[in-house]
Homo-oligomer: A and B are copies of this chain.
Amino acid sequence: MKTYLDCIPCFFKQALLAARSATDDERAIKRILDRVGLLVPDIPLTATPPETARLLYRIVREETGVFDPLKRIKEESTRKALALYPSLKAEIEEAEDPLQQAVRIAIAGNVIDFGANPDLDLDSAVRAVLLRNFGIHHHKAFKEKLDQAETVLYLGDNAGETVFDRLLIETMGRPVTYVVREKPIINDATKEDALAAGLQEWAEVISSGCDAPGTILPQCSEEFRERFHSADLIISKGQGNFETLSEEKGPLFFLFMAKCPIIATHAGVEMGTLNLMEAQAS
């Protein structure tokens, strides 16, 4: 997905949120916004938004010296999600179509997002999201591809959401490689967050090699790219992975909640919907 003009004000909003998570020094935050301002002429509309977001978070790190400002929030998200694990697990097991319910729950886990209330009542939030409609729901195609797949490459999104991903991975019953970001960025899951969610019991956890809040293939490791291009089935979680991979072809399914109006329009879905969307055929 290209960068839309509407993404530019939003970059400043994101930079401000990120800066505030790292410091309360107003002058340091202003310096960060100044540097983001100077960056604007160099933002090509042809790049994907996470390519720019990556640069913003680098500026925040450089100006504040804080490497992982949301560490505590990520740990808290995982803790809250693990507390919900038993009831969600039971719900999947009792469902008429366990796979469909696990997909729905995995997408609902995408409700965990930076900027959300840190005192978020995750249980109520997830319950509310589970009642939402699907926008795009390519369940049949997904089930077919999964039935044929020997292995699955699963691209993670946020910390805490990892626990919801684990529920889907357990339900799929296939060998899975779970992919995390190379370095902390926003509240995206790193290896540490995946391990805290217990994913290593169900999947091999690897880094994409990319430190953007998405999967920018040219910036990923050679090892990851090989796995990406040879995978039987790729599950891509969240908006950031969708933004960076929406033009890719292949056995690729995007699972995300449409939380941004620009992304929703690009995907052709209503804001707030849950989506299981097959990529263009290869």
* Cβ-based interface call for A33 (8 A): yes
Q: How large is the interface on A (under 10, 10 to 19, 20 to 34, 35 or more residues)?
A: 20 to 34
Partner of A9, one of B5, B16, B45: B16
Interface centre among A6, A9, A13, A41 (most CB of B within 10 A): A9
Please indicate the chain B residues that have their CB under 8 angstroms from the CB of A41 in the complex.
Answer: 34, 37-38
Contact yes or no, A16 B8, CB < 8 A: yes
A26 at the B interface (CB under 8 A):
yes
Contact of A33 among B8, B26, B30 (CB under 8 A): B8
The reply to whether B26 and A16 contact each other, CB–CB distance below 8 Å, is no
- CB-CB under 8 A from A38, the residues of chain B are 37-38, 40-41
Report how many copies the assembly holds: 2
**CB neighbours of A8 from chain B (8 A):** 12, 16, 33
Q: 0/1 per residue, A5-23, Cβ < 8 Å to B?
A: 1101110110010000000
Residues in chain B near residue A9, CB distance under 8 A: 9-10, 12-13, 16
A36 on interface, CB distance cutoff 8 Å: yes
- Bound Cα distance from A130 to B162, whole angstroms: 48
In the complex formed, the residue of B with least CB distance to A31 is B41
Tell me whether A16 and B5 are in contact in the complex, defined as CB-CB below 8 angstroms, given that A30-B45, A37-B37, A37-B38 are known contacts. Answer: yes
A17 nearest in chain B by CB position:
B9
Cβ of A29 under 8 Å from chain B: yes
Is A39 part of the binding interface, using a Cβ–Cβ cutoff of 8 Å? Answer: yes
Q: How far is the CA of A5 from the CA of B24 in the complex (A)?
A: 11
Among A8, A13, A36, A38, which residue has the most Cβ atoms of chain B within 10 A? A8
A-to-B contact residues, CB < 8 Å: 5-6, 8-10, 12-13, 16, 26, 29-30, 33-34, 36-41, 45
Give 10 closest A-B pairs by Cβ, nearest first: A37-B40, A9-B12, A34-B41, A37-B37, A9-B13, A8-B33, A9-B9, A34-B40, A8-B12, A5-B29
